[in-house]
Structure 1
Amino acid sequence: MAIKIYEALRWASSFLQEHHRDENIGELLLCHRLQLSRASLFAEMRESLKAEDWDWLQKQIHAHVTGMPVQHIIGSEWFYGRKFKVNPSVLIPRPETEELVQAILQLKKEHFDKGAVSYCDIGTGSGAIATTLALEDPKSHVTAVDISPAALEMAKENAKSLGAEVTFVEGDLLSAFLGKATFDIVVSNPPYIPSREVDQLDTLVKDHEPRLALDGGADGLSPYRLICQQLPHVMGPKGLVGFEIGSGQGAAVAELLESHLGDRNVKTMIKHDINKHERMVFAVFGKK
């Protein structure tokens, strides 16, 4: 006898709860599998589920509870209202990073009025930040850099499918631009987890997302030190820098920005995310 959709979801919810996973993952997976919206899925709750779809759901739920991120199962994640493809070569976009982009766009309006600017997204990964900036501020030019060729391929695919014009460069942080380019705005969500803590992360993260995008060195600050050393060589007299940071790193990152941009009358700001955690550090310098 065929199982009903509501029965399949009830099983999924119970199984996920038992394994301390989000009980709503079953809905997300079935919506993806059946190509239905959540509302349409609820409307068909008493319909029978095909045997192959029921087998698929069970297989994916088991994969998820043993560590597979749901985003890798369905191959995408939403960011700033747009669907980005993801795979194990890139960090899965997080809601906190949406707040970084939102803040950068607001500070850009305040600091540069409505004029076109040049952005640089360091460690672009899936291209979520760069593509979003290009689409939200289409008059400006966006450059994105990553050391990983595989990540760049994914970022290029996302930019193309979403219709964003972004210049992609393979390189280590800002090294490729030293003495060759000048940016108005530099933004980055670099690796910021201390090395010793990476192996303590949930299996969803440590076993399925690139360590290159997670490990920030002994104290989690290594990428910030290197970027801040390079900033004076790729930015003009007026600029904006925005970093995503880990918990408790705000003061240290702000101090790095001030020490390397201090001769430009720099002002730094530490901002919290929606959950009231330190999440972003910004530096503005030069007159409006």
Structure 2
Amino acid sequence: MGETIQEVLSRASLFLQQHNREPKIAEYLLCHHLQYTKTDLLLNLRTDLTANIINQFEQDLVVHVQTGKPIQYMVGLEQFYNRTFKVNEHVLIPRPETEELVQHVLAMTKDMSRPLKLLDVGTGSGAIAITLKLEQPSLTVEAGDISVSALAVARENADRLGAEVSFCQSDFLQYWLQQGEQVDWIVSNPPYIPWTEKKQLADTVRDFEPELALFANDAGLAAYQQIIAQSTKVLAPGGYLAFEIGYQQGQSVKQLLKQAFPACHVRIIQDINGKDRIILAKC
């Protein structure tokens, strides 16, 4: 008799734990190999696995443990807002904190009295822009990224998920400045980790996710400085800015917003872990 899903998962979780890796990765990876949802996995814990599946699964675990390569890059997929997005080494792996940013933007745009135009700056995999369009179809959504490789991933995700989003290459808001366009919302999860913190990051992030999307100069504030300065010409009067931020950057980003938009109303919102994570500004 072969081993059951439960037995294989138990052994894999212990293996990961012993090597200081996240034990829950075992479930994620096994779901991929079996083409199961998490529910499928839980309903079939007593099902026997073939030797071939076990071997492939354990080989991937060893690669992850030895190199730190994120499982999401190994399988090429990640979940965001209950949808499956393609990811690779050219884009950040979408995270739950960013889902919270999307939730707040959706809550504030659902009752607007007219069609709104929204811009996602530094779109990466397209997770923010695509999710906002699919959840709020009345929004006109545009998205930009400086990375051509990231844009290729975002376009593929939009096509696969059926989201009508316009993508273009742009260094932050440069394209929209040149076009003389104005938008009602600017949303961004920009690079915000100070370079001085690079050595402290987990190897799964530091050695694999794109530096362009992770790190910023000026104590991690450089991207906010540029986006906010450019937004003074791109954001329509009475428009909104929404950022994901590092948990120690709330007051600094608020100050940048107040300098650019003296009359703006700024809210700093904490994430599910009680850390400052989102800034919403009505300008």
TM-score (norm 2): 0.95
Tell me if the contact between 2:89 and 2:208 (Cα under 8 Å) persists in the aligned partners: yes
- Name structure 1 gaps, 5 residues minimum: none
Q: Which residue of 2 aligns with 1:245?
A: 245
Tell me if the contact between 1:100 and 1:280 (Cα under 8 Å) persists in the aligned partners: yes
Distance in structure 1 (CA, Å) of the matches to 2:187 and 2:275: 19
Q: Which residue of 1 aligns with 2:234?
A: 234
Residue identity in the other structure for 1:124:
T
* Residue in structure 1 matching 2:282, options 278, 281, 284: 284
Could you list the per-position Cα deviations for residues 158-205 of structure 1 after superposition, in whole angstroms to 9, with x for gaps in the alignment? 111111001101010001111421111000000000011123210110
Could you list the per-position Cα deviations for residues 77-98 of structure 1 after superposition, in whole angstroms to 9, with x for gaps in the alignment? 1111111111111000010011
Tell me if the contact between 2:110 and 2:136 (Cα under 8 Å) persists in the aligned partners: no
- Name structure 2 gaps, 5 residues minimum: none
Q: Which residue of 1 aligns with 2:65?
A: 65
Distance in structure 2 (CA, Å) of the matches to 1:272 and 1:185: 20
SS at match of 1:248: coil
Deviation (angstroms), 1:12: 0.2
Could you list the per-position Cα deviations for residues 206-239 of structure 1 after superposition, in whole angstroms to 9, with x for gaps in the alignment? 1110000000114000001111110111122120
Distance in structure 1 (CA, Å) of the matches to 2:3 and 2:135: 45
Distance in structure 2 (CA, Å) of the matches to 1:250 and 1:236: 23
Distance in structure 2 (CA, Å) of the matches to 1:190 and 1:215: 9
Tell me if the contact between 2:85 and 2:127 (Cα under 8 Å) persists in the aligned partners: yes
Q: Which residue of 1 aligns with 2:102?
A: 101
Q: Which residue of 2 aligns with 1:153?
A: 152
Deviation (angstroms), 1:259: 0.8
| Residues 1:257 and 2:252 aligned together | no
Deviation (angstroms), 1:144: 0.3
Residue identity in the other structure for 2:69:
M
Alignment of 1:29-40 (within 5 A): 29-40=29-40
Distance in structure 1 (CA, Å) of the matches to 2:177 and 2:25: 45
Distance in structure 2 (CA, Å) of the matches to 1:238 and 1:258: 14
Distance in structure 2 (CA, Å) of the matches to 1:211 and 1:282: 26
Tell me if the contact between 2:89 and 2:210 (Cα under 8 Å) persists in the aligned partners: yes
Q: Which residue of 2 aligns with 1:134?
A: 133
Q: Which residue of 1 aligns with 2:270?
A: 272
The answer to which of 18-27 and 51-60 deviates more is 18-27
Cα distance, 1:266–1:45 mapped onto 2, change above 3 Å: closer
The number of equivalent residue pairs is 281
Cα distance, 1:48–1:108 mapped onto 2, change above 3 Å: closer
Tell me if the contact between 1:268 and 1:282 (Cα under 8 Å) persists in the aligned partners: yes
SS at match of 1:90: coil
Cα distance, 1:38–1:227 mapped onto 2, change above 3 Å: closer
Distance in structure 2 (CA, Å) of the matches to 1:43 and 1:266: 51
Tell me if the contact between 1:191 and 1:223 (Cα under 8 Å) persists in the aligned partners: yes
